[in-house]
């Protein structure tokens, strides 16, 4: 099973959100890569972030981000 590109885009974007503080967010500008803008919209539609252009992680987003970081760190090359 291969990871679909749109899922990889969403995971990549999710991994860029700061997780140290709930007071830090992310802004994806209107002139960003169209794939990044689409991924951002999908994360918003799924309730993972609170704005269609980034914003803050929701409770679900924070939980998913922690899991994504665990997986990424376990699988990345040392």
**pLDDT 10s digit of each residue in the chain, 78 long?**
899 999 999 999 999 998 887 788 999 999 999 999 999 999 999 999 999 999 999 999 999 999 999 999 999 876
For residue 20, what pLDDT is reported?
A: 82
How far is Cα 58 from Cα 5, in angstroms, rounded to an integer? Answer: 23
In which residue are the tokens 């500008």 written? Answer: 29
For residue 76, what pLDDT is reported?
A: 87
Residues near 24 by beta carbon (within 8 Å), at least 6 away in sequence: 18, 56
For residue 22, what pLDDT is reported?
A: 78
For residue 24, what pLDDT is reported?
A: 86
Rounded to 5 degrees, φ, ψ at 4 are -60, 145
Q: Domain limits of the chain?
A: 5-75
Beta-carbon count within 10 A of 67 CB? 11
In which residue are the tokens 């803050």 written? Answer: 56
For residue 29, what pLDDT is reported?
A: 92
């Amino acid at each position: 099973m291969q990871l679909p590109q749109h899922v990889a885009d969403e995971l990549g974007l999710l991994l860029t959100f700061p997780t140290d503080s709930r007071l830090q967010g992310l802004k994806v500008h209107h002139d960003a890569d169209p794939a990044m803008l689409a991924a951002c919209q999908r994360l918003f539609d799924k309730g993972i972030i609170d704005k269609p252009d980034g914003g803050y992680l929701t409770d679900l987003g924070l939980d998913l981000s922690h899991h994504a970081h665990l997986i990424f760190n376990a699988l990345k090359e040392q």
